[in-house]
Amino acid sequence: MEVLIFQKEAFEEMAAKFSRFSDRVNELLAKQGGKSLNRWMDNQEVCQQLNISPRTLQTLRDNGTLAYSQINHKVFYRPEDVLRIVKPVENKPKSAMA
């Protein structure tokens, strides 16, 4: 375990810089029409959006069709990645995806 000691002035300067950074991020998000950072989707939301089973979703991850991120044991998907595969999934017969 390491203990760091900051001078009060250094800490206050760092806190002020972080506050300015946070303000800047909020300004940029506001310029994008008030959008927040992309909301990630979970397995259930993707299955509902694509009208597929959880096993088919697993296959899409396994074969690289759908990009994902995993935090601990929970899997998340970017909405734009899900939308990108909507047409290929709709055009495939159910038997070809299994």
Note the pLDDT of residue 90: 60
Pairing of strands 41-42, 69-71: unpaired
The pLDDT-based confidence of 72 (bands split at 50, 70, 90) is: confident
pLDDT value at residue 37: 45
Average pLDDT over the chain, rounded to an integer: 83
Instruction: Please state which CATH number belongs to domain 41-97.
Output: 1.10.1660
Rounded distance between C-alpha atoms, residue 42 and residue 48, angstroms? 10
- Using CA atoms, how far residue 54 sits from 12, 25, 90, in Å, is 49, 36, 16
6-37 pLDDT, tens digit each: 899 999 999 999 888 888 877 776 776 654 44
For residue 69, the cross-strand partners are 76
Residue 65's φ and ψ, nearest 5 degrees, are: -70, -35
- Residue of 26 and 51 predicted with greater confidence: 51
pLDDT tens by residue, 55-65? 999 999 999 99
Rounded to whole angstroms, the Cα distance separating 6 from 65 reads 48
Helix (H, G, I), strand (E, B) or coil at 5: coil
Any idea where the domains of the chain sit in the sequence?
1-36, 41-97
Answer whether 0.85 is exceeded by the pTM.
Answer: no
In this structure, are residues 77 and 41 in contact, taking their beta carbons and an 8 Å threshold?
yes
